[in-house]
Amino acid sequence: MTSPEPPTPAVFVLLVALSRVPRHGYGLGQEVQRMTDGRVRLGAGTLYRSLQRMRVAGWVEESGSDTDDERRRVYSLTPAGRSAARAETRRLADLVALATEAGLLEDAPTPREDEHTP
């Protein structure tokens, strides 16, 4: 929607889920669900396609598996990935600030004038 392409919503939550500990794809899906109290669930297609894009973008890198399960592909966040996540966090925070300043958190039906909540 703007310039230098922000991560997609799915990619962003994956970056957040990866921010502390390296994980494999399937585990990331679980972690995203856990840390959002089930509010965000990524479909399988979205999950693995997002990880491929993140790898191509240099935001994650594949590291050696953490168990003897050969199927797992474990990813860890790169500095570039952390940087992208921080930038997107700031972008979203700005958006939230904008909405808040617009009076979108008060309960008033239509606070069109300069009201002040006592």
Partner DNA sequence: CCCAACTATATCCACCCCGGATACAGTACT
Partner DNA sequence: AGTACTGTATCCGGGGTGGATATAGTTGGG
109 is a contact residue toward a second copy (CB under 8 A): yes
Query: Which parts of 41-78 fold into alpha helices (H)?
Result: 44-56
Q: Which does 69 bind (CB under 5 to 8 A by kind): DNA, a second copy, none?
A: DNA
Task: Please state at what angle helix 9-17 crosses helix 79-101, rounded to 10 degrees.
Answer: 120
Dist. CA 49–CA 5, nearest whole Å: 17
80 is a contact residue toward a second copy (CB under 8 A): no
What is the smallest separation between the CB atom of 106 and a second copy, expressed in angstroms?
A: 9
Dist. CA 42–CA 33, nearest whole Å: 8
DSSP 58: T
Q: Which SS3 state, helix, strand or coil, does residue 49 take?
A: helix
Q: By CB under 8 A, which span of 53-61, 67-75, 109-117 interacts with a second copy? A: 109-117
Contacts of 23 (CB under 8 A, 6+ apart): 17, 31, 74, 75
When binding is defined by CB under 8 A, the residue of 102, 116, 117, 118 that contacts a second copy is 102
Residue type, 28: L
Residue among 71 and 112 whose Cβ is closer to a second copy: 112
**Could you give the string, one character per residue 52-91, with x where binding to DNA holds by CB under 7 A and - elsewhere?**
xx-------------xxxxxxxx-----------------
- The contact set with a second copy (CB under 8 A) reads 1-2, 9-10, 12-13, 16, 19-21, 35-36, 39-42, 77, 79, 82, 85-86, 88-96, 98-100, 102-105, 109-110, 112
